[in-house]
Amino acid sequence: METSSTETMEYKFDISLVRSINKSITSHMPLPTLLESILEVAKTLIGAESSSLLLTDRQSGDLIFNIVIGDKGEIIKGRRVPRGKGIAGMVAETGKPLLVNNAQDDPRLFKEIDDKSGFLTRNIITVPMIVMDELVGVLNVVNSKGKDRYDSVDLEKAQYIAEQAAIAITNRMLYDDLEKRIAELSALYDVANAISLTGHNEDVLQNILSSLSASMNVERASIAIYNREKKKLILEAMCGFEKRGDARIEVDIDSTICGKVFKSGDPLIVSSADGELPLHLRRYRKNYHTDSFISAPIIYKNETIGVLNLADKKNGGIFDSFDLRVLTTVGTQIAEAYQNALNFKNREEQRRLAQEIEIASRIQRGILPRIPAVFHDHRLAAYIQPAREIGGDFYDFFQIDERKYGILIADISGKGIPAALFMGSVRNIINAEKETDPRPSHLLRNCNRHVYNDSESGMFVTLFYATVDMDTRIITYSSAGHNNQLLVRKNRCEEVILNTRGKPLGVLDDQEFQECTVQYEPGDILLLYTDGVLENLGGSDLDADLGERELSRVVSGFADTDPGELINHLKLVMSRNRIATDMKDDITIVAVSL
């Protein structure tokens, strides 16, 4: 049987076609080059104005315009087509090819793509790319050239190209997946190395980001950490962005992509910002070189603390599940590194603060007056125990004349450094005013005016002040809102409560203070103390009334003793109570054996 010349030509043409396709489509090419080659082959051998490859998103099953050759191609690159929607979606869903010559009249045409690109689809061949029953993607050849319609021969060519393309793409992807796994391990190693080299340095995030952006081959990257006080995300590290001085950039949570990822706690991988983001989020994508980006939450102990962002691949490619996997893993490392750096910083600050407090405590203890153990035939002793390193209680002793002296005890509102600073101010005022007029009611009145003017944030001071005249044996005293004080009678086994009307210093601008006197006998004990003593003796409920009764009971057994021994006994009783109750307030005692 003879073969006609026409049949021979067609046979030769078929063989050359196959050779051309097999030569042009090989898995040895890098994937972007391979995809371009597939489309050039399809576009040239079938005769089309445009061709495109839509690869399957392994996570969602959607089709993504990975590469487009032809007019308006860049506009639709990265756009998604849901499976089952449009001609491409139908082919993906059924696994069967479609040839449509009247595309504009076909309801299956996904016209959103034409509307976006301004391209008019007249006719189209769409074939699935399947390997081992798995859809790799679909191949489109659009708008026939040199003829009005596509025919069955064009469809067969497209199917053959798609078959070869599916195999080549799958093999290349397997190879690329292996390379990506190596790249992933390399990226994680680089990040871990950056963390180890940086240690607890404040630049740990910037160093991690610089290493990550180099490993992932991206032009832009950023790390945003949530600031609880400002209730905003703060860009703590950036690569590829223009810095605005030393000020950190604040990112609004409600109107940004970063905020969306932070609030949801879910990663966001976008192939085409224009096609996948609402308008109010797209406006933040100005000046980017590509439409694809990826954002992943930074999570520490099940709490989202920030967001990691990558954009603008240097090769112009689209971010995929591999990038997401790397970002998710790195996000965990960033969270640990950031928290460790933060904890280290806090520990350092606490250590420095502790040192400063210790220095301040030593200074405070050093400036407390040294009460003389003996003044003529009077014996004196004092004890002070702050609830914290720095207290707000203080006492003072000063000689008025040869046989007359003043003694006082005070309790500053608040605790810690603010109380200590206020205490220093009050002591300076008292020291200045006592030189002018040491009489108790006058001293308190004059001091109050200055304390009121110097007081900030509502701080005040309770104070008991007495002058002791050794010739007349008269104690003259005034109280500025202080708790009761005691005069313990030696011979009559009783206590006289000492107190007067008067509000704490610093509460009112102008006020007068009551002044009273009491006669003492030799051997009596004047006991001054702050409310911390009463709270300690008042049991677990810190009952001041109970504490006052307990103090009277303890003191009554030591009425005829040295004031130092009395204070030591009180210290012993209070130390036992401190085991059962936390020390809430400073404890100060001054005892004078008259």
Rg from Cα positions in the chain: 43
Q: Provide the token pair at 307.
A: 């967001």
Q: Give yes or no for a contact between 96 and 89, defined as CB atoms under 8 angstroms apart.
A: no
pLDDT exceeds cutoff 90 at 439: yes
Q: Is the pTM of this model over 0.95?
A: no
pLDDT-derived band at 11 (thresholds 50, 70, 90) equals very low
Instruction: Pick 297 or 72 by higher pLDDT.
Output: 297
Rank 31-35, 114-118, 443-447, 567-571 by mean pLDDT and report only the highest.
443-447
Domain-by-domain residue ranges, the chain? Answer: 5-177, 199-344, 368-593
Rank 264-273, 299-308, 579-588 by mean pLDDT and report only the highest.
299-308
pLDDT exceeds cutoff 70 at 26: no
pLDDT at 12 (0 to 100) = 41
Distance CA 30, CA 67 (A): 14
Q: Please tell me if the domain spanning 5-177 has the same topology as the one spanning 199-344.
A: yes
> Taking residues 529-545, what's their average pLDDT?
82
Average of per-residue pLDDT values in the chain:
82
pLDDT at 408 (0 to 100) = 95
Rank 207-216, 310-319, 362-371, 513-522 by mean pLDDT and report only the highest.
513-522
> Taking residues 38-65, what's their average pLDDT?
86
Q: Provide the token pair at 229.
A: 């006080």
> Taking residues 252-259, what's their average pLDDT?
85
pLDDT at 95 (0 to 100) = 92
- Listing DSSP states for 417-439 in one string gives HHHHHHHHHHHHHHHHHHTT---
> Taking residues 236-245, what's their average pLDDT?
76
pLDDT exceeds cutoff 90 at 375: yes
- For 199-344, the fitting CATH number among 3.30.2320.80, 3.40.190.10, 3.30.450.40, 3.30.413.10 is 3.30.450.40
pLDDT exceeds cutoff 90 at 314: no
Instruction: Pick 201 or 7 by higher pLDDT.
Output: 201
Strand partners, 235: 224
> Taking residues 276-283, what's their average pLDDT?
63
CB atoms within 10 A of CB 227: 15
pLDDT exceeds cutoff 90 at 379: yes
pLDDT exceeds cutoff 70 at 74: no
Distance CA 529, CA 536 (A): 12
pLDDT at 110 (0 to 100) = 84
Scan for tokens 């905020």, then name that residue.
259
Residue ranges with strand state E in 314-377: 374-375
pLDDT exceeds cutoff 90 at 126: yes
pLDDT exceeds cutoff 80 at 544: no
Helix (H) or strand (E) holding 206: helix 204-215
Scan for tokens 């004031």, then name that residue.
563
pLDDT at 17 (0 to 100) = 58
pLDDT tens across 204-227, in order?
788 888 888 887 888 899 989 998
> Taking residues 511-532, what's their average pLDDT?
93
Residue type, 263: K
- For 368-593, the fitting CATH number among 2.60.40.420, 3.40.50.300, 1.10.10.60, 3.60.40.10 is 3.60.40.10
Q: Give yes or no for a contact between 41 and 8, defined as CB atoms under 8 angstroms apart.
A: no
Architecture (CATH level 2) of domain 5-177: 2-Layer Sandwich (3.30)
Cα angle value 387/392/395 (rounded, 5°): 110
> Taking residues 299-324, what's their average pLDDT?
86
pLDDT exceeds cutoff 60 at 42: yes
> Taking residues 127-151, what's their average pLDDT?
91
pLDDT exceeds cutoff 80 at 456: no
pLDDT at 28 (0 to 100) = 67
Instruction: Pick 256 or 241 by higher pLDDT.
Output: 256
HEC states along 447-489? HHHHHHHHCCCCCCEEEEEEEEECCCCEEEEEEEECCCEEEEC
Residue ranges with strand state E in 3-110: 48-56, 63-69, 80-81, 98-100
> Taking residues 76-97, what's their average pLDDT?
88
pLDDT at 149 (0 to 100) = 93
pLDDT-derived band at 125 (thresholds 50, 70, 90) equals very high
Distance CA 91, CA 84 (A): 8
Q: Give yes or no for a contact between 310 and 282, defined as CB atoms under 8 angstroms apart.
A: no
Secondary structure letter of residue 277 according to DSSP: S
Instruction: Pick 286 or 213 by higher pLDDT.
Output: 213
pLDDT at 185 (0 to 100) = 65
CB atoms within 10 A of CB 490: 17
Distance CA 515, CA 517 (A): 7
**Secondary structure of residue 319 in the 3-state scheme:** coil
